[in-house]
Amino acid sequence: MTRQIRFNAFDMNCVGHQSPGLWAHPRDRSWQYKDLEYWQDLARTLERGIFDGIFIADVVGYYDVYKGSNWHALHQAAQIPVNDPLQLAAPIALATEHLGIGITASTSFEHPYTFARRLSTADHHTKGRVGWNIVTSYLESGAKNVGQDGLKRHDNRYEVAAEYVEVLYKLFEGSWEEGAVLRDRERRIFTDPAKVHEIGHRGRHFTVPGYHLCEPSPQRTPVLYQAGASGPGKAFAGHHAECVFVAAPLKPMLKAYVADVRAQARAAGRSPRDVLIYNLTTVIVAETDEAAQKKFEDYRSHASHDGALVLLSGWSGIDFGQYAPTDLVKKVETNAIVSMVEHFSSAENPWSIAELARWGGIGGLGPVFVGSPATVADILQDWAEETDVDGFNLAYAVTPESFEDAVDLLVPELQRRGAYPKAYRPGTLREKLFGRGPYLPETHPAHGFRDIEAVKAREAALRPAAAAE
């Protein structure tokens, strides 16, 4: 049986996203990120291409590591200005019937109680098509501007994230029982109070004693996305994530990552196939290989060297502006995205600063595949077979052109090979992705919070012992 390939569209509520400088291309429309019509047009295109969803990245903060300021970030629109991603869920849902909507929100800067209400509201409004990308923020500028002294250490951020999602599981899964909402007009009872519970959470980082403010949404807990590639990130993904995004530039790196995450899921008592893994990829497709290469060179002529290094410095925490273009990337211990530096500073194949900037100018950290539909389809199928990845998180060079080319040229070729779906499954996003019910399965850790009174009793019994230690 031919292995199936899945696509997500990777975007951000900003200009240029992963291809700094390409906003100046005459066919690029990313400068219209402020307009709902732009997002709705894009969403219709993606749904026509049977994409699993549109995955909307986000950062809270700005990139000021490169040359010690945010001048180049502002000058080249390197993910600033940037608007809130969650507000795009409703208009995208209104324009489509099936497309999933993955929203990035950090566990570092927003309280879980208020965020739970916003996320449940979005799941209601989209009729169960929302996912949450769980991230731990990596920008010092974000921490400072929300009143924190600075970022927590990398591993500690995942400790906070683990408790954050525990609070959300309690609110989403345990606060309102099935059947709590009656809407009984004759007896004039909307909700049975006996079936709505305070969660009584008292943790190291959060205290949330009360009820969830929302009645259960179609998925209760929206689909859980995660993009951590460090050791703690992969362990977190194996325990919690349903969809994982990685940016591996080479097949051996991706193969090792996929195997590790599936092993982490197995160790957490989950099926390795309960996790769908997508690799960040940019495809430049045209009718022929020659036309695609010409298009790629046209795109590359608009890429910004400084803009690429702004993003790469922000992601890594290393100021690449302090080095000469011929200097090699060296591993430096930082508090940002640890895995990124490991990719490009290996002793076997070190990269120069110029090579790094050229790589990051189009599509960010993932590979760029250029060619005809047949050529690119061959490459994607080869990567999927060799690495066991489930699909690809497609970034754009020029939007919406990159996505239109994928939908109009690449998708039909993959469908002709029997390697890509021709229709959506019915139901919520979770049902479309996994072909089962709308709620998280019993093997997921969230299931253990559905009987919230039992959870509270266990936690109360453990508190005296913890206090005595």
Residue 357 lies in a domain: no
More confident residue, 468 or 223: 223
Q: Do 66 and 73 contact (CB within 8 A), yes or no?
A: yes
Least confident of 307-316, 381-390, 436-445: 307-316
Residue 311 lies in a domain: no
308: which residues sit within 8 A by CB, 6+ positions away? 20, 21, 356, 357, 358, 359, 360, 361
Give CA–CA dist 116/130, Å, rounded.
13
Residue 327 lies in a domain: no
pLDDT confidence of residue 108:
78
Q: What percent of the chain has pLDDT over 70?
A: 91
**133-166, pLDDT tens digit by residue?**
998 765 565 557 666 665 555 458 888 999 999 9
pLDDT confidence of residue 336:
45
Task: Name residue 58's amino acid.
Answer: D
Q: Do 275 and 238 contact (CB within 8 A), yes or no?
A: yes
The phi and psi torsions of 405 (rounded to 5 degrees) equal -65, -40
**305-338, pLDDT tens digit by residue?**
999 999 999 888 889 999 988 888 875 555 544 5
Given a cut of 80, whether residue 7 has pLDDT beyond it is yes
pLDDT confidence of residue 155:
54
More confident residue, 152 or 178: 178
Beta bridge partners of 201: 208
Given a cut of 50, whether residue 360 has pLDDT beyond it is yes
Give CA–CA dist 459/448, Å, rounded.
13
With both helix axes pointing from N to C terminus, report the angle between 373-387 and 289-300 in degrees, rounded to the nearest 10. Answer: 80
Judge if the upstream peptide bond of residue 412 is cis by omega within 30 degrees of 0: no
Q: Do 440 and 447 contact (CB within 8 A), yes or no?
A: yes
Residue 88 lies in a domain: yes
Query: What pLDDT band is residue 461 in, cutting at 50, 70 and 90?
Result: confident
Residue 158 lies in a domain: yes
Q: What percent of the chain has pLDDT over 90?
A: 76
Helix, strand, coil content of the chain in percent (nearest 5):
45, 15, 40
- pTM of the complete model: 0.92
In the structure encoding, which two tokens stand for residue 139, read together? Answer: 């920008």
Q: Where are the alpha helices (DSSP H) in 301-418?
A: 305-316, 338-344, 353-360, 373-387, 401-405, 411-416
Q: Which helix (H) or strand (E) holds 380?
A: helix 373-387
Report the number of distinct structural domains present in the chain. 1
Range of the domain at 113: 6-288+366-468
pLDDT confidence of residue 1:
79
194: which residues sit within 8 A by CB, 6+ positions away? none
Residue 308 lies in a domain: no
- Mean pLDDT, to the nearest integer, of 119-130? 98
CATH number of the domain that 434 lies in? 3.20.20.30
272: which residues sit within 8 A by CB, 6+ positions away? 262, 263, 265, 266
Residue 318 lies in a domain: no
In the structure encoding, which two tokens stand for residue 392, read together? Answer: 């690809």
Residue 33 lies in a domain: yes
Query: What pLDDT band is residue 465 in, cutting at 50, 70 and 90?
Result: low
259: which residues sit within 8 A by CB, 6+ positions away? 388
